[in-house]
Structure 1
Amino acid sequence: MSVCRSVRCLFSAVSLPKPSSAPKRSFHASAPRTARRRRPHYPSIKAEDLKLLNQAAETQYPKYDTSETALLAKRYTPEQIAAIKAAESAIDARDVVTQGQNRTDPWLLPYEDDLAEVDPVTDHAPKLSPEDIPGKKTFREANEVERDEAIARIANENLAKMYPDGIPEGQLNPKQEQQLQEAMEAAFTQAALDPRATFYSENPAAAQALADTRHSIVQPDLPRIDNRMVRQTRRLSTEEAEDPRQKRLLQYLDWDKQKLRTIRVKTLVVHSVTNQTRMGKIQSLYFLTIAGNQDGLLGVGEGKSVEPEEGRKQSVMSAIRNMRPIPRYENRTIFGDLEKKVGATKVQLFARPPGFGLRVQHLIFELARAAGLQDLAARTPRSRNKMNVIKATWEALCNQKLPDEIARARGKKLVDARKVYYGGSVH
């Protein structure tokens, strides 16, 4: 029958057949369950509870008023303010109140930090050079009068940091007097050890640089992001005599020697093999090596040669070249339980909570440590051939099913697949 039907056939009054009442299969990964009543994700909320919930949300997460918007406009651009408002409107404050919670585990991050200030403990201050000091940079050793004046000034600055509201006056109890005495001793001790009290300069900026940690010679420099040409120039300038295999590997990976040294390499299997030829039996050594950066990369390589050093180097280069990313949940364990079979060997891997450790056999232990896994359990119920155990573990770690892939296959969002929202509440 032709697809192009006549107009008379299209507008005829012939009744169309009724659709069958039998349920049809939908385009979904899960099997249809028509008889089962679908349960809601969240319990029903009464009107009275909803009013109380709205009040709590408005109290804890109020909307921006005019003064706050004006302050934001001084710091952020209009595009950034629009992005902030869009993010605020996308997240319902009621959901944050009901499902959000502050983390209390040891691995929590300072989410409330706006990163506007430099943390003196965790952040590195930018290192400054002598060119950043304006004026002359001459110093001389201070005499007694200049030293006493500098110690008094620095001690007052230290006491002002300890007591921002001023030194307590009036009648003090014995505990407060002891605290004040200890603070004064600490302030004068720090002032006596300060280099500004030992040396004197007519340039105040140069004198202040003596106590500035950014001018310290032992402070490490901040990491720099260089382009490919700079890295290539640096690598060629520091290039030493090396074997051509390692040189080709560095060019293939676009690495330098310093980055190659950070790779953890270990040979796990070594045994001799025999090749029967027309000239007789030829003995050689087989090596199986693993390589990883202990931060999500893992590779397995094999090598065989008559010379032991040559065969081991082949396996090392092959392992580094075969490194593949390992998905890690919270950078410490795997996503769920895994099972892989290679030959007669079957390996079962299980995710474990924080602090569990690596309770696995020695081969899987080396693989997990090279990949950067800290919490893992494993079983090998069948054959425990070393080569097959290593290959099965590597393939299982590389071929994990991620939550976002599972959610995409089911046609859902990631939060619906994991049932985790905002602060980490699990339903």
Structure 2
Amino acid sequence: MSENKENAAATPVASSGAPSQGRGGPGGRGQGGRGGKGGRRERPQRQAPPKPTTDDGVELVEKVVFINRCAKVVKGGRRFSFSALMVSGTHEGRVGVGYGKANEVIDCIKKAAEDAKRRIKRYAIVDGTIPHEVYAEFGGGKVLLKPACPGTGVIAGGGVRAVCEAVGIQNVLGKSLGSNNHANVVKATVAALAQLRTRDDVLGSRGKLKSKSL
């Protein structure tokens, strides 16, 4: 009997506080558990898409003016398609208008952005405003633009405002006098900007010396 007691005393007994490799071990549910070192996997960070730029490296600012949805009724139901009208500018006197169609919204916006990038042109902007009053028409759209003093802001709405902000005009008074069609209003605004001429352009067309820039 004494030998059995000695053998029992010599046998090691696992204590309740000792770490184990099972679910109660360090890290919650073992080495590969949720709380262990290898439990949480770091997700790769998504890189932001590159910003659109012109051919000479100037960053573009893109604005979606209008997205139209068209439904075609077929035998199986309705098929939807989308068209987007977009304005792209540099805030430095250059702007372009693009139009794209596709069966998905994202695709039509991409097409419109590419079209606007190809149509970018430079217009005469002086000290954040236009050099003189101008009026233009395109289809049913009629747009009137007037220069404004610093601090006025862009007093216009809809497509007129989008074009003026994209081209870099900070102070202007605008008014749409005709149709509310977004495409016609935007194109009328671009036509108005195309009529702008600075003082040097006018003197040069008359064969006189250009005025010295202050």
Counterpart for residue 115 of structure 2: 318
Q: Does 1:339 align with 2:135?
A: yes
**2:146 equivalent among 350, 356, 376:** 350
Q: Does 1:329 align with 2:151?
A: no
Counterpart for residue 393 of structure 1: 189
**1:292 equivalent among 73, 89, 92:** 89
Counterpart for residue 20 of structure 1: none
**2:55 equivalent among 232, 245, 253:** 253
Per the TM alignment, residue 350 of structure 1 is displaced from its structure 2 partner at its CA by 0.5
Counterpart for residue 301 of structure 1: 98
Per the TM alignment, residue 254 of structure 1 is displaced from its structure 2 partner at its CA by 5.5
Per the TM alignment, residue 269 of structure 1 is displaced from its structure 2 partner at its CA by 0.8
2:87, 2:96 within 8 Å by CA — same for their partners in 1? yes
- Cα distance in 2 for partners of 1:390, 1:324 equals 15
SS at structure 1 position matched to 2:190: helix
Counterpart for residue 378 of structure 1: 174
Counterpart for residue 234 of structure 1: none
SS at structure 2 position matched to 1:414: coil
Per the TM alignment, residue 281 of structure 1 is displaced from its structure 2 partner at its CA by 7.6
Per the TM alignment, residue 267 of structure 1 is displaced from its structure 2 partner at its CA by 0.7
- Cα distance in 2 for partners of 1:385, 1:311 equals 19
Amino acid at match of 1:354: P
Given the superposition, is the C-alpha separation of residues 422 and 271 from structure 1 closer, same or farther in structure 2, using an over 3 Å criterion? Answer: closer
Q: Which runs of 5+ in 1 are unaligned?
A: 1-239, 416-420
- Cα distance in 2 for partners of 1:402, 1:394 equals 17
SS at structure 2 position matched to 1:400: coil
- Cα distance in 2 for partners of 1:413, 1:321 equals 34
1:294, 1:369 within 8 Å by CA — same for their partners in 2? yes
2:137, 2:191 within 8 Å by CA — same for their partners in 1? no
SS at structure 2 position matched to 1:383: coil
- Farther-moved stretch of structure 1 (406-415 vs 282-291): 406-415
Amino acid at match of 1:382: G
2:89, 2:167 within 8 Å by CA — same for their partners in 1? yes
Given the superposition, is the C-alpha separation of residues 412 and 385 from structure 1 closer, same or farther in structure 2, using an over 3 Å criterion? Answer: same
Amino acid at match of 1:285: F
Amino acid at match of 2:114: M
Q: Deviations over 1:123-169 (max 9, x none)?
A: xxxxxxxxxxxxxxxxxxxxxxxxxxxxxxxxxxxxxxxxxxxxxxx
Runs of 4+ in 1 over 4 A off after TM superposition: 274-277, 279-282
Correspondence list, 1:38-57, <5 A: none
2:94, 2:122 within 8 Å by CA — same for their partners in 1? yes
Percent identity between the two aligned chains: 25
Per the TM alignment, residue 276 of structure 1 is displaced from its structure 2 partner at its CA by 8.7
Per the TM alignment, residue 400 of structure 1 is displaced from its structure 2 partner at its CA by 1.7
TM-score by length of 1: 0.35
Q: How many residues align structurally? A: 165
Per residue, is there more strand in 1 or in 2? 2
Correspondence list, 1:8-27, <5 A: none
- Cα distance in 2 for partners of 1:321, 1:339 equals 25
Q: Which has the higher contact order (CA 8 A, sep 6+)?
A: 2
Q: Which runs of 5+ in 2 are unaligned?
A: 1-46
Counterpart for residue 202 of structure 2: 406
2:134, 2:195 within 8 Å by CA — same for their partners in 1? no
- Cα distance in 2 for partners of 1:283, 1:395 equals 32
Correspondence list, 1:100-179, <5 A: none
- Cα distance in 1 for partners of 2:114, 2:139 equals 25
1:345, 1:389 within 8 Å by CA — same for their partners in 2? yes
- Cα distance in 1 for partners of 2:154, 2:137 equals 21
Counterpart for residue 155 of structure 2: 359
Quote the RMSD (CA, aligned, Å).
3.0
1:324, 1:398 within 8 Å by CA — same for their partners in 2? no
Amino acid at match of 1:349: L
- Cα distance in 1 for partners of 2:63, 2:157 equals 16
TM-score by length of 2: 0.66
